[in-house]
Amino acid sequence: MPSFQTVRGMRDLLAEEAEVLNFVMSKARETAKLYGYREVITPVVEPYELLSAKAGEEIRSRMFTFKDLGNRTVALRPEFTASIARLATGALKNEPKPLRTLAVGSVYRYDEPQRGRYREFYQSDYEIVGVSNPEADAEIILLTDRLMRAVGLRNYAFKVGHIGVIRGILSQENVDEKTQNAILQLMDKREFEKAFQLVKSVACLSTLRGLLTLKSDNAFDTVGRLRKHVEGYPNASASVEDLQKILKIVTEHQCPIATVEPTFSRGLEYYTGMIFEVYIPELDIALGGGGRYDRLIEAFGGEPTPATGVAHGLDRIVMAMRMQKTTPTTQNKKRVAVIPAKEEVKGEALRISQMLREAGVSVELEVMGRKMNKALEDADRRRIDFAVIVGERELEQGSVVLRDLAKREQAVVTISNLAKRINPEY
Ligand code: HAM
């Protein structure tokens, strides 16, 4: 047999990596609780139609699509938003609004594997459905800010834009929706010249080109210049006011805004309003991104329902934590090895292990039948904190030997006091 490897772009996460990822997931869940988002678990496999309908060409062309044995065309989810929109038109249709959901898990995109870009990766996705107010968009940015802080990241900052400004200009200049989508996809890749080539009207072209010159160091200055620039385009102007309101809320809460970019666009096609991404200076790829999508639920056959949301790239957050040397604050749990000194006391060693586990102590029982010195060596190598040596003589007194492997000290301890001796908090 050949020796098997993971499929290209797929990774095994070994214990330490899995621990950090789980830590980030736990922070994502804590953040959701603090903001009233309730977790839902949706399938990894969804109808191709659902996932592809409004995702945009960029994601559509990178989906893992296949026929199942029933000849249905299905795909691995490349994101969660489509699944949540499906729920909003079905099982959660009659839930009181706003509906706030969290989804955490793996998503799949046939991206070219490189640093921070995988074909299977993990997201925490928050959606708030049923509100068009800027407060909802601000909440999505603020909870992202909270998650960044909760995992210990520093110096992160948000890049913000508004799809309504660009669409407002293009619609008023009679650019059809298909061409608008193509323009936005090219803008997402920063291929502005190619994007502009799709625009026929000279007036429209100069307004779009002008957007490139508005960026400044101060978010509100950019918004002011943008406001002037789109005078005469009522929908674009309304979008600028919306953006201003969102920025006002988030900056009042010390949320770090790096830039407002009038030409900022994102790969997904469903966005209609504010969009954003979050970065740290050490990495030029986004740790998370999101925005408003007011027409997706309607496109899936639901009532017209405004919505906004974000997904965080958990693998990239882990990477960012490594770069900033932010070690997760794992619980200070002691690890204990219970080692029977003889075959005859194996049963007793298991009983003591179970008793410690009931008290919340993490116990690894010696099950290999190794001699005492080998078992202790092994515990040392695996950085176990304490060894509990179960010997016949001590057992007769209701005791065991507790050995502190780091300090290389040991004492005879009564079994009933054992958990407290290992950690006084137990
Ligand atoms: P997205 O920007 O496509 O948005 O993905 C969100 C985050 O997932 C990115 O910022 C990045 O951190 C991470 N990510 C994307 N591709 C990869 C990859 N190949 N490898 C590792 N990480 C990756 C969405 O998915 C939208 N559903 C967000 C949203 C929710 N918009 C509204 N609601």
What's the pLDDT score for residue 1?
Answer: 76
Of all protein residues, whose CA lies closest to atom 16 belonging to ligand 1? Answer: 117
DSSP states of 75-115 as a string? EE-S-SHHHHHHHHHTTTTTSPSSEEEEEEEEEE-----BT
pLDDT greater at residue 134 or residue 331:
134
What DSSP letter does each residue of 180-241 carry, written as one string? HHHHHHHHHTT-HHHHHHT---HHHHHHHHHHTT---SSHHHHHHHHHHHTTT-HHHHHHHH
For the domain made up of 333-422, give the CATH fold. Answer: Rossmann fold (3.40.50)
SS3 category, 411: strand
- Supply the residue whose CA is at minimum distance from atom 8 of ligand 1: 313
Distance 187 CA to ligand 1 centre (A): 17
**d(Cα 310, Cα 211) in Å, to the nearest integer?**
25
Q: What is the mean pLDDT of residues 224-252?
A: 97
Tell which one of 268, 285, 308 to mutate to probe ligand 1, the residue whose CB is within 8 A of the most ligand atoms: 268
Upper half-sphere CA count for residue 410 (Cβ side, 13 Å): 13
Cβ within 8 Å of residue 52, ≥6 positions away: 60, 63, 75
Name the amino acid, one letter, at 165: V
Phi-psi region of 227 (alpha: psi -120 to 50; beta: other; left: phi over 0): alpha
107 CA → ligand 1 middle, Å: 9
**C-beta of residue 386 within 8 angstroms of C-beta of residue 334:** yes
**If pLDDT is split at 50, 70 and 90, which confidence band does 332 have?**
low
Q: Distance, CA 101 to ligand 1 centroid (Å)?
A: 17
**Residue type at 265?**
S
Mutate to test the pocket of ligand 1, among 21, 51, 123, 276 (most ligand atoms within 8 A of CB): 123
Side-by-side strand order, sheet with 409-414: 362-365, 335-340, 386-390, 399-404, 409-414
Per-chain mean pLDDT for the chain = 95
Share of the chain above pLDDT 90, in %: 93
What mean pLDDT do residues 309-323 have? 98
Residue 347 pLDDT level (bands cut at 50, 70, 90): very high
Query: Atom 25 of ligand 1 has which residue's CA nearest to it?
Result: 79
d(CA 17, CA 20): 5
> What does the pLDDT look like over 148-195, one tens digit per residue?
999 999 999 999 999 999 999 999 999 999 999 999 999 999 999 999
Atom of ligand 1 minimally distant from the CA of 59: 3
Separation of 206 CA from ligand 1 center, angstroms? 32
Range(s) of the chain covered by CATH 3.30.930.10? 15-323
Crossing angle of helices 314-323 and 15-35, in 10° steps, is 110
| Residue 230 to residue 240: CA distance in whole angstroms | 9
Ligand 1 neighbours, Cβ below 6 Å, are 79-81, 109, 111, 116-118, 121, 123, 125, 127, 267-268, 277, 286-291, 293, 309-311, 313, 315-316
pLDDT digits (tens, 9 = 90+) for 31-89: 999 999 999 999 999 999 999 998 888 899 999 999 999 999 999 999 999 999 999 99
* Whole-number Å distance between alpha carbons of 38 and 30: 11
In angstroms, what is the span from residue 400 Cα to ligand 1's centroid?
Answer: 53
Structure tokens at 349: 């060693």
By DSSP bridging, strand 288-292 and strand 307-313 are: antiparallel
Give the span between the Cα atoms of 419 and 345, in whole angstroms: 19
Alpha carbon of 403 to ligand 1 centroid (Å) = 48
Contacts of 97 (CB under 8 A, 6+ apart): 129, 130, 131, 305
Q: In what order do the strands lie in the sheet with 45-47?
A: 45-47, 73-76, 65-67
The hierarchical CATH code for the domain 15-323 is 3.30.930.10
Q: Residue 119 CA: which ligand 1 atom is closest? A: 19
Span from the CA of 79 to the centroid of ligand 1 (angstroms): 7
Instruction: State the span(s) of the chain assigned CATH 3.40.50.800.
Output: 333-422
Which candidate, 215, 155, 205, 150, places its Cα nearest to that of 183? 205
Ligand 1 atom closest to the Cα of residue 111 is: 19
Note the pLDDT of residue 333: 79
Query: How far, in Å, is the centroid of ligand 1 from the Cα of 401?
Result: 53
pLDDT in tens, 107-158: 999 999 999 999 999 999 999 999 999 999 999 999 999 999 999 999 999 9
Q: Give the span between the Cα atoms of 63 and 58, in whole angstroms.
A: 9
pTM above 0.85, yes or no: yes
Nearest ligand 1 atom to alpha carbon 288: 10
Q: Are 288 and 313 in contact (CB under 8 A)?
A: yes
Residue 180: per-residue pLDDT: 95
